[in-house]
Amino acid sequence: MRGFAFSLLLFCFASSVTSKESVAPLALGGSFSAYDSRFFSDAKDTVWLRTEFCARKSESAEKEEKIPCVPSKLFLEKRNERPLASGSVETNRMYLSYGNRFKPSRHFFFLRENFEFSSFPFLEQPTIRSAFLGGFLGQSMGSLYYAEKGASKRPGFFLKPFGETSEFAYSPETKEGFILLEIPNSYRKKSFEPSFGFRLEAFGTKQDPNGVLSAYWQDPVRARRLFISGYRGISSRLFALSSPGDPGEKGKFLRLVWEPGYYRKLEAVQLERSAADPAGSNERTAKGIFGKLGLLITDWGAVSAQIRTYRFYDRTDWIVGRGLYYGFQKRFWSWEIGQEWRENGDNLTEATARLNFPEHWKLQLSVLAAKEKNREPSFVEESLTPEETGLRLTDKPVYVFARIYHPYFALTLRHTRGLDSKGDSLSARFQFFLPLSEDSVESSVPVNRINPALP
């Protein structure tokens, strides 16, 4: 609690500074997470200090032209009781890094450290201990890398053939590959709002591929959107059931959403859970087809009717649910609350919100309150990764997910209640970012060939 209060005080100071989605040359931050239930409790904390600086070349001080420098970064942190140090040096021709933070990749799963992750997209993600040595050729970049897990005996290969649009990595030691494709890339998205996008983060072996896929097309003027997303990986990201699955279970997720305008929506979703060993238990599948239409639309919101059809596991019959909802939709601002009644006697109350406020504040909220004796589970929205949102299948009568985000602050809460009002669990993650310097070192840093402004 002391750490949380101290962090909150630091955030109040930081929020008085004009926020921006970039990393200050000198910054302090931390992450505090906790999980508590009847059977298990855990807590993790990370505090860090990050700095950027230029190592000047030995030139005569009498020269009037600007003296070039070698841009360098240093990251000092403590993960629980483990102190760590990371550093990187990058020029137009060379890239060198070592430690538990820096890598020339934006792939979320590449060398990921399961201890923690950062909610800030502009900040380096925690990694396992690794080292990179590579060089640049135009917009392309190639590197050899070492990692304490996966590339400790034989070096791996990393390649950016077309700037920030694509990345490829391969470990001969584990036969594991990593692919990132993003069109347009995240740097270009900052300068304009694209009408379409595609992102693929794949990893794993040929026998066990995993990853996240998303693609969209949108027409903001007419409020139209077509969105498809998919996931394959550990099943716990998709299923939150009272009877936990076996360790190593795999999950699959596919979702298609078509929104032809405000208060109109057509959606199809499929989730699968299977044993890590294909010869193990049978595959369990949950499918749903949802449709929503606004009936009474005003400037203050709309009353909408919704119909959902479900098919769970190995059953052949579909369950129909009918719902009535009231909500408000506007660009960057939507919320909804309503009730659903299913033909098998199940009913549930749910609420969702996605709100954008001034100064880059964002709120994501999903609340599910199901009847205690419901026979079948329900879908609830939740984040798959810091950048991707998916659905989870749960049979818990109470499920609450909330995420508050600011460029200097992130808070994630999840509360569930088990069947028969037993087995409550609560998880919380608080992260802060405190810039200690607003000065920029970019004026003395040579522009990298892989420029964020280029495709």
378 is a domain residue: no
Question: pLDDT, tens digit, for every residue of 192-239?
Answer: 678 899 999 999 999 999 999 999 999 988 889 999 999 999 888 899
Any domain includes 443: no
Q: Evaluate whether residue 207 is within a structural domain.
A: yes
Q: How far is CA 159 from CA 133, 180, 258, in A?
A: 12, 11, 35
Chain segment 261-283, per-residue pLDDT in tens = 999 999 999 999 887 665 555 67
Q: What is the mean pLDDT of residues 348-375?
A: 92
Task: Look at residue 188 and tell me whether its pLDDT is greater than 50.
Answer: yes
Pick from 129-138, 166-175, 290-299, 441-450: least confident = 441-450
CA distance readout (Å), 164 to 156, 182, 188, 189, 297: 20, 8, 10, 12, 43
> Domains in the chain: how many in total?
1
**pLDDT at residue 174, rounded to an integer:** 95
Q: Which of 92, 109, 47, 101 is nearest to 74 (CA)?
A: 101
Residue scoring higher pLDDT (8 or 313): 313
Query: In this predicted structure, what is the pLDDT of residue 439?
Result: 55
Task: Please report whether residue 175 resides in a domain.
Answer: yes
pLDDT classification of 15: cutoffs 50, 70, 90: very low
pLDDT surpassing 90 at residue 444: no
pLDDT value for 187: 67
Least trusted range by pLDDT, from 25-39, 176-190, 402-416: 176-190
Q: Give residue 214's pLDDT.
A: 93
Single-letter amino acid, residue 329: Q
pLDDT score recorded for residue 241: 86
Q: Is residue 138 part of a domain?
A: yes
pLDDT for 3: 41
Residue 289 within any structural domain of the chain: no
Closest CA relative to residue 337, chosen from 347, 350, 348: 350
Residue 190 confidence (pLDDT): 63
Is 134 contained in some domain? yes
Q: Say whether pLDDT at 287 is over 50.
A: yes
| Comparison of pLDDT for 145 and 192, the residue scoring more | 145
Distance CA 256, CA 269 (A): 6
The CA distance from 216 to 23, in Å, is 28
Q: d(Cα 141, Cα 448) in Å, to the nearest integer? A: 11
The parent domain of residue 75 ranges over 68-221
**Does the pLDDT value for residue 385 go beyond 80?**
no
Q: What is the pLDDT of residues 365-376, one digit of tens each?
A: 999 999 888 999
pLDDT, position 455: 24
Provide mean pLDDT across the span 33-55: 90
Q: For position 454, what pLDDT does the model report?
A: 26
Which pLDDT value is given to residue 189? 62
Sign of the torsion formed by the C-alpha atoms of 384, 389, 395 and 401 = positive
Mean pLDDT, all residues of the chain: 85
What pLDDT is stored for residue 446 in this prediction? 36
Write down the pLDDT at residue 258. 96
Q: Is 393 exposed, middle or buried (0-12, 13-18, 19+ CB in 10 A)?
A: buried
Higher pLDDT among residues 68 and 243, named by residue: 243
Residue pair 160/187 in contact by the 8 Å Cβ criterion: no
For 396-419, letters b (16+ CB in 10 Å) and e give bbbbbbbbbbbbbbbbbebbbbbe
60 assigned to some structural domain: no
